[in-house]
Amino acid sequence: AQSVTQPDIHITVSEGASLELRCNYSYGATPYLFWYVQSPGQGLQLLLKYFSGDTLVQGIKGFEAEFKRSQSSFNLRKPSVHWSDAAEYFCVLNTNAGKSTFGDGTTLTVKP
């Protein structure tokens, strides 16, 4: 069975600082990977996805993620965080059949 682990429950960064949110997965085949963001009072929104090809994928709002097969990781990064990035972030793995597994999320706090 597949699983997704987000090791950091809560991360605090200063505005303008860089950000990296970790995601590790377990799956016996090539996964489809996603990052979603859940802002207060809003629905989950897709940031980016990886299906195949270039292992560095670009998303909305200046986010990017890198797929590393050898490390079973798909970490999310942003070079300079804005106060509006404060939210909860979910890493998601889909199987070939489209069955999705969410991580338990990382809550991002941005300090002024």
- Which residues of this protein are in contact with other proteins, per CB under 8 A? 4, 32, 36, 41-46, 49, 51, 90, 92, 94, 96-100, 102-105
Give the nearest distance from C-beta 32 to other proteins in angstroms: 5
Q: Which residue, 49 or 77, is less far from other proteins as judged by CB?
A: 49
CB-wise, 98 or 112, nearer to other proteins?
98
Q: Could you tell me the smallest distance in angstroms from the CB atom of residue 13 to other proteins?
A: 21
d(CA 24, CA 47): 17
CA distance 6 to 25: 9
- Closest CB 46 distance from other proteins, rounded Å: 5
What is the per-residue DSSP string for 28-71?
SSPPEEEEEEE-TTS-EEEEEEE-SS-SEEE-GGG-EEEEEGGG
Task: Mark residue 84 as left, alpha or beta (left: phi above 0; alpha: psi -120 to 50; beta: remaining).
Answer: alpha
Q: Kindly tell me which of 42 and 70 has the beta carbon lying closer to other proteins.
A: 42
Considering the complex, state which of residue 15 and residue 107 has its C-beta at the smaller distance from other proteins: 107
